[in-house]
Amino acid sequence: AQTVTQSQPEMSVQEAETVTLSCTYDTSESDYYLFWYKQPPSRQMILVIRQEAYKQQNATENRFSVNFQKAAKSFSLKISDSQLGDAAMYFCAWQGGSEKLVFGKGTKLTVNP
Amino acid sequence: GAVVSQHPSRVICKSGTSVKIECRSLDFQATTMFWYRQFPKQSLMLMATSNEGSKATYEQGVEKDKFLINHASLTLSTLTVTSAHPEDSSFYICSATVGGRQPQHFGDGTRLSIL
């Protein structure tokens, strides 16, 4: 079965600094997608970034970028110039051919002013 | 674009009653909708996958008769928690996708409290 592991239950960062959230996954499929979702205290799930496994180029969305290492099955999220509004739970997720999302347990990010 | 509306956002009711939660895709047609349950400080647990016009596919361990899912149209799926009990209290979230492994877009969730 596919698994997604987020080894950091909690992380903190100073405002304006950079932080990296880790995610590893296990799969035997070769064609899949990886996601980072943000869940603020309002509990709305917000898509942060999406990576297609067959694309070698790392996805970026403004201050958010990923380091996708397919051979190592690693998919970390880097947040640059952290802002107070970035404070949230961050979930890494994997999607294979079935369209189902498999989520990690999440990392709680605190941004200190 | 890609807005998913979930209603109600909060429900408090007595044990034994049935509760219906609606999930609507407002600006796209959702061939597939998903229902998740989230316990406090935990991740999302997939309950079932719902396709328009067909029976929902439930994950292992999820009671079909307890959690009734109806995907009546390409923009609406409903989750009915039947004869709810305190242990059914949780946060329920739906998501919708146009299919083809396009991203899932999530509703704002429903906080269900059974007294």
Span A49-60, average pLDDT: 93
pLDDT at B100: 77
pLDDT at B54: 85
Chain B residue with minimal CA distance to A32? B101
Tell me B57's DSSP state: E
CA torsion angle B8 A49 A10 B60 (round to 10)? 60
Q: Which residues of A touch B46 (CB under 8 A)?
A: 100-101
The three-state (H, E, C) secondary structure of chain A, written as one string: CCEEECCCCEEEEECCCCEEECCEEECCCCCCEEEEEEECCCCCCEEEEEEECCCCCCCEECCEEEEEECCCCEEEEEECCCCHHHCEEEEEEEECCCCCEEECCCEEEEEEC
pLDDT at B41: 86
Q: Is the pLDDT of residue A76 over 90?
A: yes
Spatial distance between the Cα atoms of B86 and A90, rounded to a whole number of angstroms: 28
- The phi, psi pair for B75, rounded to 5°, reads -125, 5
Chain A residue with minimal CA distance to B95? A45
pLDDT in tens, A17-53: 999 999 999 999 889 999 999 999 999 999 999 999 9
pLDDT in tens, B5-63: 999 999 999 999 999 999 999 999 998 999 999 998 899 999 999 988 888 999 999 99
pLDDT band at B4 (very low <50, low <70, confident <90, very high): very high
Checking DSSP bridges between strand B90-97 and strand B32-38, what pairing results, if any?
antiparallel
Span B82-110, average pLDDT: 93
Q: Which residues of B touch A (CB under 8 A)?
A: 32, 34, 38, 42-44, 46, 49, 91, 93, 95, 97, 99, 101, 103-106, 108-109
Calculate how close chain B gets to A113, using CA atoms only, in Å.
24
Chain A residue with minimal CA distance to B38? A43
Q: Do A105 and B42 touch (CB under 8 A)?
A: yes
| Average pLDDT taken over every residue of chain A | 95
Calculate how close chain A gets to B36, using CA atoms only, in Å.
10
